[in-house]
Amino acid sequence: METVDGFGITAERQFADLWSRSVLTVKERRLLLLGLLVGQGLHDMTEVQLDVALRAGELSEAELREVAVFLTHYAGWARGAQLNGQVESLIERVRRARSDRSGPGG
């Protein structure tokens, strides 16, 4: 007998509905969420959102770097330094993965 995760299904549906509303763009929502996560020091969740934003094309490398500069001044230097490290590490990983996929012939 298969168990159904009713809470998980409900939560997933609510998040999908929330992210598909039309007043704010997905990019605007992602920026708000990043600010909130960095401000609360939720580094693991920040890492996930940065990854999604870059890989989905919602935010460019330059935009992620600018987010780090901006939030450093509002969330504090320690959290800003953490965010900057996360952004640079992510950019390097994504570039390396893209390079590996293109192979030696490019």
Question: What does the alpha-carbon distance between residue 79 and residue 20 come to, in Å, rounded to a whole number?
Answer: 29
Question: What does the alpha-carbon distance between residue 65 and residue 46 come to, in Å, rounded to a whole number?
Answer: 14
Whether pLDDT at 2 is above 70: no
**Confidence band (pLDDT; 50, 70, 90) for 87?**
very high
Distances (CA, A) of 99 to 32, 37, 63: 31, 30, 21
User: What tokens appear for 89 in the block?
Assistant: 């590490």
**Confidence band (pLDDT; 50, 70, 90) for 1?**
low
Those residues whose C-beta lies under 8 Å from the C-beta of residue 35, and which sit 6 or more positions away, are 71, 74, 75
Average pLDDT of the chain to the nearest whole number: 91
Whether pLDDT at 5 is above 90: no
Residue 72's φ and ψ, nearest 5 degrees, are -55, -40
Whether pLDDT at 74 is above 70: yes
